Amino acid sequence: MRVCLFFILFFVCTGCILGDKEKIEDDMNRKRILEQLTRTRTVLLDDYHLVTRQIATDVYMFRSYRTVSVVFYPVMRDVTDARFTFQSEELHLNTIGSCDPQDVIINIKHGAYPAVNPDGYDFPKDFLDPAIREPVYTLAIRSDGKNNTYKIKNPKPGNWYALIYIKWEDPREQKVEQQGLVADCQTILYTDLQVKRDEDIELIDCYLGVTEINYNDLPALFKCMSVDRVDPIALNITIVNTSSGDKELFFRVQALSLPTEDSNLIYCAFDPRANNYQTITFVPHPNAWHYIHIGPITGNVSKIADCESYYMRTDIDELVNHTVVDLMRDDKGRFFTFDYGLPTADIQDATSLINITSSEIKSLRFKINQFLDIGGTLSIAASLLMSLKYYMGYKREFEKRALLAFTEDNQFFKVVVCMDIGHPSIPLESGHCRYNDKVKPALFVLNSTDSESIYDKTFIPFPDSGTWYLTFRLFCDQTVCPCQTVNNGTKYFVDTGDKEGDESMVGWNGTRQGTSDCNATVVLTVSSMSCVSGKCSNHGNCLLNTFGALVMSFCSCYPGYGGWDCSDSSRMDSRFYMLLSVLLLTLSNLLFIFSMYAAAIRLYYTEAMMYGFTMIFSTFYHACDAAAEVAYCIMRGNILQFGDFYCGLMSFWVTLLAMSIINDKLRSSLQLIGAIIIALLTTWNMHSFVSFLLPVAIGISIVFGSWYLDYWKNKRMKYPRSYYTIHMPFGILLVSIGLICYARLQTEQNYKIVHSIWHMIIALSVVFLLPDVKRGSDVNPFCPTRGHYRIPFLRIFRRSPAPIATD
């Protein structure tokens, strides 16, 4: 009894020591972080303003958006230079080994979280091309404690977001490291933002212009605010004292930020000596600040447009019949879940019917709010509303080398849809969008020629905050015809007669002129949800990640799947390989049958049951932990995992107690104590090396302590000589090999092989480690004794004899 109390106290004290040790380690780690951070000094540059800093951001290796860290930087207006400072270093949180510097990747983007795929997967085909979105600036640094600065000239005002993570490595090639046997390292990051503002920007009226600009005061910066309209601005400028200089002047204008040679709405040159008065017409951002930069040109003038070409612009006439309609927001009360559509009282309808004609340009605009809306995925879908005959399959096609007759119900046209943030563009007949001098591909080109091109859809992950514009323009079948034509495509065949060849068809007079006026209806859906339409295909879970007040949705993919929506199975193992892996991990546990057999014939029934439970839990846990295509779960995976780890540790514990020389009452008491303590350790942290080391170390101490006391008392060893010279050394060798495989040799790629070997080695080692002393001497330890299985079943339930009373 005293011995049991001693071990109970020993376990409790050990647990308290471990708990106190954890608290001490936490305090030491916190102190170490503070000491390292005090060595990080913010160097404030002259004329720069410190906007924000974050002193201790944890950085993890990229596995999904669950393991990224996000920092946001607010940037004000009139900033000419933004300097982002980063310093990353490694915290060594234990005394094992050393920490090597890691490759830290930082993606910086304006307006929303950077949507990137560091693991090499491609975006799904329906996703918007990242190249036509706001640029993502990428910086790679080492976590060696050195300062790194990244500069962005003339940044846009608003929130900038940095996505921070350790460079992705293929997990299949990484080692599976046992916690407590390797260095415990944590990568941290310090970051701050300093900005430089231009205080000498003159405020002017965009619609009046600026007069009497002295040539000697150039270069000069001006800013003005546009009204909430899409009408072009004709900006007048007058240069005086032109005789004091001999260089031509450049004119640049940009919305939101200061213009540069690469970032501008208009960039042109003029000679003030020839004409000191200029009128430059451009299309502004509605309701936004615009910056004008005027100064002498130092380089080659021939590559710069002439400002005279912006005086009378023919393309501006296309904006005469341009209307802008604000969409209504319909919130759904969940993260990133909302719709935009034309104002309607129908709460079930999330679509909008947009009526357009060939004589107008129509823009629809809606707002994506910062913080609230940028963490989901925006979906935009558009379709032409066709006649009933069209949906029944009636369309113009070739029949016997001729064409079906043209009917008004089957009119051909196309709609070009442009998408922009902050301003609308002009859809062009070629399927492009023009805004001032910039031309880019349209978002959609809906063509009524066949059922595959009347509908299109795109997904935009982490949409940028701001005002979005969707601009529609209709082009009639005068210039859109999929059939054989004459007169440079202005006339087409409509007759159904059987013509004998292309030449006769072209020479036939049965043609008609295409129409130039038409109308159409576009069905538009603008919606946002978490992940992709609220799910991750059928191969992942849609989850949320938070960083302070920042929230983003992401897909956590099942093993083998990847990509933004878990639809990419390019790295998925074949079904045969998955079956082979799960069979190796499960069937390798069958060797515990030999452990059960050896324990049973040597009269260790408790130990035999423990080995049986270990085999059962390990088998079903690995069957449940396999790939989803071949997995089989009889209950929740976390329960099976607990049973696997718990029974494995208990098997070590009861085996060591069986090897010790103690009486059965003490052994049963220690088995119960160990069952409780090991359950607590497994619940505390089943992956910790301490959870394995503590019961094993105490069990080994009991074994050798009991052997020493027995030898000191009896002057001879209790077990047969063959046990000490053959069986036990061989069992210890097997356990050592198994531990080396388990702790040092496992990688994600070879896990199914090495871990299966671990199962088999540990199961076989028990056969050699269990001493055969309960049956007496001169018996074969691997064979049952005569009459071993002749125990009557009812004898188990016999009442024990009552004790005899004595006087």
- Is residue 759 included in any domain, yes or no? yes
Same-domain check for residues 306 and 372:
no
Domain boundary among 288, 319, 350: 319
**702-735 pLDDT, tens per residue?**
989 998 898 888 888 888 888 888 888 988 898 8
Separation between Cα atoms, residue 761 and residue 754, nearest integer Å = 10
What is the CA 574 to chain-centroid distance, rounded?
A: 25
User: Do the domain assignments include residue 537?
Assistant: no
Give dist(CA 729, CA 735) in Å, integer.
Answer: 10
**Distance, CA of 470 to chain centre:** 28
Q: Say if CB 247 and CB 296 are below 8 A apart.
A: yes
Residues 641 and 762 in one domain: yes
Q: Which residue has the tokens 């005293």?
A: 2
Same domain assignment for residues 401 and 483: yes
Whether residue 788 sits in one domain with residue 650:
yes
565 belongs to a structural domain = no
Number of domains observed in the structure of the chain? 5
What pLDDT was estimated at residue 802? 58
Distances (CA, A) of 21 to 15, 24, 94, 688: 10, 5, 12, 14
> Which domain covers residue 460, as residue numbers?
336-418+444-529
For 629, counting Cβ atoms within 10 Å of its Cβ (0-12 exposed, 13-18 middle, 19+ buried), the class is middle
- 364 and 254 housed in the same domain: no
Looking at the fold, whether 736 and 649 belong to one and the same domain comes out as yes
Q: 3-state class of 611 per DSSP? A: helix
Strand residues in 453-510 grouped as ranges (E): 455-461, 466-476, 485-486, 491-493
239 by DSSP, 3-state: which? Answer: strand
**Looking at residue 309, what DSSP letter applies?**
G
CA dist 409 and 517 (Å) reads 15
Confirm whether 331 is domain-assigned. no
Asked whether residue 636 is assigned to any structural domain, the reply reads yes
Together in a domain, 742 and 608:
yes
The answer as to whether 607 is a domain residue is yes
Residues 6+ apart with CB under 8 A from 19: none
Of 529, 525, 417, give the one whose Cα is nearest residue 462.
529
Which one of 474, 508, 529 terminates a domain? 529
Same domain, 183 and 213: no
On whether both 585 and 701 belong to a single domain, the answer is: yes
- For residues 119 and 221, membership in a common domain is answered with no
Amino acid at 313: R
Q: Is 619 exposed, middle or buried (0-12, 13-18, 19+ CB in 10 A)?
A: buried
CB atoms within 10 A of CB 395: 16
Q: Which helix (H) or strand (E) holds 331?
A: strand 328-334
As given in the structure block, the two tokens for residue 160 are 């900038």
Hey, what's the torsion of the CAs at 621, 626, 629, 634, to 10 degrees? 0
The segments of the chain whose pLDDT lies below 50 read 1-8, 10-12, 16-20, 394-410, 479-482, 485-512, 793-794, 807
**Residue 98 has what pLDDT?**
82
Say yes or no: 35 and 56 in one domain.
no
Based on its alpha-carbon atoms, the radius of gyration of the chain, rounded to whole angstroms, reads: 39
Per-residue model confidence (pLDDT) at position 18: 47
Domain final residue pick, 196, 211, 246: 196
Instruction: State whether 142 and 173 are in the same domain.
Output: yes
Mapping DSSP onto H, E and C, the string for 107-175 reads: EEEECCCCCCCCCCCCCCCCECCHHHCCCCEEEEEECCCCEEEEEEECCCCEEEEEEEEECCCCHHHCE
pTM: 0.78
- The answer as to whether 555 is a domain residue is no
Kindly state whether residue 536 falls inside one of the protein's structural domains.
no
Give how far Cα 146 sits from Cα of 45, 85, 780, Å: 18, 10, 68
